Structure 1
């Protein structure tokens, strides 16, 4: 039998030539239109016609020319159509006695089997019906009704190279959507005369796992976080989760690439690594301090990220106002990652501050102590590309002697203690053009847990405040990068709601960086707050690369913003129970390599219920690390 070959993405499909259009007759001449019997064809699902002669019981098969009109040639005939619901008489015609029959046996897809090479056998193929769609040994496709609907869309189409290539592309995309990115789809040698096709899906397995480029982390330090092993199928969601965990620390950056393995249908998984010695020193300056101390302040510290060879991280920093008398703080943090990919964070902060007033009689210094334990649990990403989510559970302990660092001027006669628990949900999804993230937190304090955790102690710090309370806060951030000059449009919505009176540490900030810019930091705090920010930013560009060489890259971004904030206290009475602030302005973000970054923001007040006499404010921050 004569064969022809169809190339299908590197594989060859062999089919019989009699499964494509051919003319049959004494001299293979095609009858003309005038010689044929004409009829109107009204059902577009028609695939072929049974033409049965009433004389001598002769019978031929033919395919219509066109989809809505056909020409037949034959004896006295009754025309039948092969529909999905059975044969149906649509027209009877008298036709002349033919000397030739036009036969077009081009196969149309009537049945389809998708399976794996391991499952496929010739016997299995012959045992299947010639109609219908079947999936075997591929449960990730079997369980999805979308797959069958997509494959059924090919039913009745002429089997051609174009259609086969389209099927291959569809199956590859469907497998990638099911988190199996490395597959090969091909058609084994088969006879497709009856319109039934078998497609085989070969899923690559891991041959070797390779780590390249690592200097300070050993190959085993990277591999111990990888769940895929040699011989396993490759699942993209598993690899993504592995990468996310490996890259969760700032001392290494890992990408994954795949290439064909040394054996057929295998793949090498290669982790390209850029790492650094896990010790950093850092420092910075800003004017984010509270006006009641000194706005201008600096900080310095260090971090080490691989204690005991277990990726434990310790971070210490010291912060102070420039005068070093109004405010200083010590901050210590210890992070512990667990093999089951949860994290425990422990932190402590001890700060000392006193109000910067002109009254020599008011020179009382106070210390605040804050302790925190936080446990993070990552959640399943539901197979959504670029999506991550997690929950955090934690406990806070705070002992307060004043509220100076939070914008107040109060030194307490007692030392109220805060003991509260919280739960936080974080979710984000990123694509090439969009970023969306949400954070929701609920905080509860039972009250009367420790000696100074009483209503009496809280009432001294703020009249009417109770040690038992509950409140919630949240933030939603969205951004979109347009094709128009790479402009990025973003919006941030921050909010907090509390029906109870809160101490200053628990109130939300309305004014300054991170809230309504153009106002001094930490000058307005309220129990319930809503702050909205709209921003338009240019793409990052380089200004001085030619002077820095290739090792250091500078980046500069300009932006304009519009901020609006509203705050409300739970007090039924009192001065300025509510406050409404609006501002607009511009700024720039900049950086050099991984070692230097900063921001400058200038805000102009539009609406000011503070009446502090200032109409604008410039804020800056500069960070350096090595």
Structure 2
């Protein structure tokens, strides 16, 4: 009897399986429909209309039977300006009040709050919806901003770990503002011998985050030497220079550098330049720089002798005003003092005359956002000379060096530089620069065009003016490593390591610039322009070798150069 039952059972099983296989697509369709309807029903489950949403920093602050209306924040200090906070409140109120709320709406609500904190620099935040009774139309949301646990440093071999920690300035229990941290890191990374980054890890205590400041650095001292053709006819086309750079001077994270430059032939120019930077608390810094040069040549158009002297002493006080994401905002003010009796370093027509003294206040602002899709580098400087404070600061001495120049003046200089990414690791580099003055200026303050840094293919500063504009457009091929024999994408290249890395860049450029004198000068071209095109090559073995060679093809003639024609501008620097 038992075997008979089994024999009757198996045929039914086979028939059932055959039916499933034959109508399997129908079964699958019904399963999908049922699961979709179930999910839709769950997701669209309504909690009713809310007339108030209350954000608190702790579950203990949830008030039952409250009479609040609108968007409320209890125990929370929202980041951002008053207008930004008002904008968040209005956005949440229009989206989530006086309408049926679903689970999907709650997720959207949490996302918008997290996004707001992230945009304001407080990305380390948790938003939770606790279990609660919402029949009274009040929804409570808990917002937990993580606090600082431990602050640790790593990798400081040459520089001070204490200085790194104090610059960031966070202590256990502090709120974490990512924008502020990025600004601190940008200040630390102004030192070219090190690069500091931050790593966030969960802290041991609840709702805390440990901060580790990781520094990669090299020996903070470098000696270098090089040669270029950035001279002129009076002192010689070629120059050689040598100097040193110290990134931890006196063990205090101070930066000190010195450079000695001579012309080739050696006797025509000797120049000394020095730079000193002292970092201060709160991301401020004090900078002093200056130079002295003596020039000897028989080619001067001279009123006295054939010896030219240039002296400069300058100071700047740098301070930040506000952070903006990963961008750096740097304000500065300072003072320049200069004495000169010639224009040799600034003109192809050399003049030596009586000594003239220049003094001016300087106000500056720099915005730097070097992210791939950032705004680039913007710089603005205002120079003001309001009074005659020193000897030889008068109209007569000024106009011997520059016709029409006056000791009271102002001018501003502004520039913008950015790289645009193209497919296949190619880039377009754009630089714009301009100057406007309300008076004719001394040669050292004029806007000069021609040469390695401005319009390539011409001599250095072939044309000068009080007002001017410069535009440089470069089409850059992908970087190539000759050591590795492969293409490097620029966003993946990091030279801030102690290991030598090489990069070859091929480019094509278009340079254009024009200048004009504020007040017309007799027997002179008061408005001039020059333009050039050509190829270029840059090669670096970081940090030991840098070379740049450009072949500029002139498209506009000047008093000193004919067009069409060409000139190679180059610079080679080796360091160790």
TM-score tier by shorter-chain length is 0.7 to 0.9
Could you tell me which residue of structure 2 aligns to residue 552 of structure 1? 500
Q: For 2:462, which of 520, 523, 536 is the aligned residue?
A: 523
Please name the residue that 2:329 is paired with.
Answer: 389
After superposition, the Cα gap between the structure-2 partners of 1:447 and 1:454, relative to the gap in structure 1 and judged at 3 Å, is: farther
Is the Cα–Cα contact under 8 Å of residues 373 and 395 in structure 1 kept in the other structure?
yes
1:148 and 2:89 matched: yes
Partner of 1:278: 220
Q: Secondary structure of the residue that 1:574 maps to in structure 2?
A: coil
| 8 Å CA contact retained: 1:159, 1:195 | no
Contact 2:50 2:100 (8 Å CA) reproduced: no
Contact 1:114 1:201 in 2 (8 A): no
Q: How far apart in 2 are the matches of 1:116 and 1:283?
A: 62
Q: Describe the shift of the 1:182–1:207 C-alpha distance in structure 2 as closer, same or farther (beyond 3 A).
A: same
- Residue correspondences, number: 517
Are the aligned partners of 1:545 and 1:553 in contact in 2 as well (CA < 8 Å)? no
Taking the aligned partners of 2:285 and 2:160, their CA distance within structure 1 comes to 22
| Residue in structure 2 matching 1:477, options 403, 417, 430 | 417
The structure with the greater share of residues assigned to helix is: 2
For residues 2-28 of structure 1, give each alpha carbon's deviation from its aligned partner in whole angstroms, at most 9, with x where no partner exists: xxxxxxxxxxxxxxxxxxxxxxxxxxx
CA distance in 1, matches of 2:61, 2:438: 70
Identify the residue that residue 568 of structure 2 maps to in structure 1: 618
Mapped pair 1:139 → 2:77: yes
Among candidates 528, 550, 557, match of residue 579 of structure 1: 528
- Residue of structure 2 in register with 1:26 after alignment: none
TM-score, normalised by the number of residues in structure 1? 0.76
2:547 aligned with 1:606? no
- Partners of 1:225 and 1:128 lie apart in 2 by 46
Question: CA–CA distance in 2 between the matches of 1:468 and 1:180?
Answer: 48
Deviations 1:177-218 (A, max 9, x none): 232121122222224566653221111111100111221124
Alignment of 1:246-261 (within 5 A): 246-261=188-203
Answer yes or no: is the 8 Å Cα contact 2:167–2:283 preserved in 1: no
Contact 1:471 1:496 in 2 (8 A): yes
Bigger relative contact order, structure 1 or 2, given CA contacts below 8 A and separation 6+? 2
Counterpart secondary structure, 2:320? strand
Measure the CA separation in 2 of the matches of 1:579 and 1:287: 23
Judging changes above 3 Å, is the alpha-carbon distance between structure 1 residues 356 and 438 closer, same or farther for their aligned structure 2 residues? Answer: farther
Q: Which has the larger radius of gyration?
A: 1
Would you say 1:536 and 2:475 are equivalent positions? yes
For the residues of structure 2 that align with 1:416 and 1:149, how far apart are their CA atoms? Answer: 62
State the secondary structure of the residue aligned to 1:268.
strand
User: Distance between the aligned counterparts of 1:268 and 1:315, measured in 2?
Assistant: 37
- SS of corresponding position for 2:167: coil
d(CA) in 2 for partners of 1:560, 1:162: 53
* TM-superposition CA deviations, 1:365-423 (whole Å, max 9, x none): 32222221222222213xx3233223322222222232222234535342222222222
Contact persistence 1:135–1:141 (CA under 8 A): no
Kept in 1, the 8 Å contact 2:456–2:552? The answer is yes
**CA distance, structure 1, for counterparts of residue 300 and residue 121 of structure 2:** 66
For 1:462 and 1:151, locate their aligned partners in 2 and report how far apart those are by CA, in whole Å.
Answer: 63
- State the 1:339 CA deviation: 2.0
2:397 alignment partner in structure 1: 457
CA contact (8 A) 2:228 2:238 kept: yes
Q: 1:619 Cα shift?
A: 0.9
Name the counterpart of 1:213: 155
SS of the residue corresponding to residue 528 of structure 2 reads: strand
Instruction: Tell me, in whole angstroms, the C-alpha distance in 1 between the residues paired with 2:146 and 2:45.
Output: 38
CA distance in structure 2 between the partners assigned to 1:249 and 1:184 by the alignment = 35
- Alignment partner, residue 437 of structure 1: 377
Q: Secondary structure in 2 aligned to 1:518?
A: coil
User: C-alpha separation between the residues in 2 aligned to 1:294 and 1:249?
Assistant: 34
Could you say which residue in structure 2 is the equivalent of 1:512? Answer: 451
1:488 aligns with 2:437: no
Specify the alignment match of 1:597 in structure 2.
546
Residue 230 of structure 2 corresponds to: 288
- Residue 167 of structure 1 corresponds to 109
Give CA-to-partner distance per residue, 1:303-357, whole Å, 9 cap, x none: 2233343322221111112321222211122222222432222222111223475
> Residue 412 of structure 1 is aligned with which of 352, 370, 378?
352
Looking at structure 2, the residues matched to 288 and 148 of structure 1 have their Cα atoms a distance apart, in angstroms, of 59
Shift of the alpha carbon at 1:539? 3.5
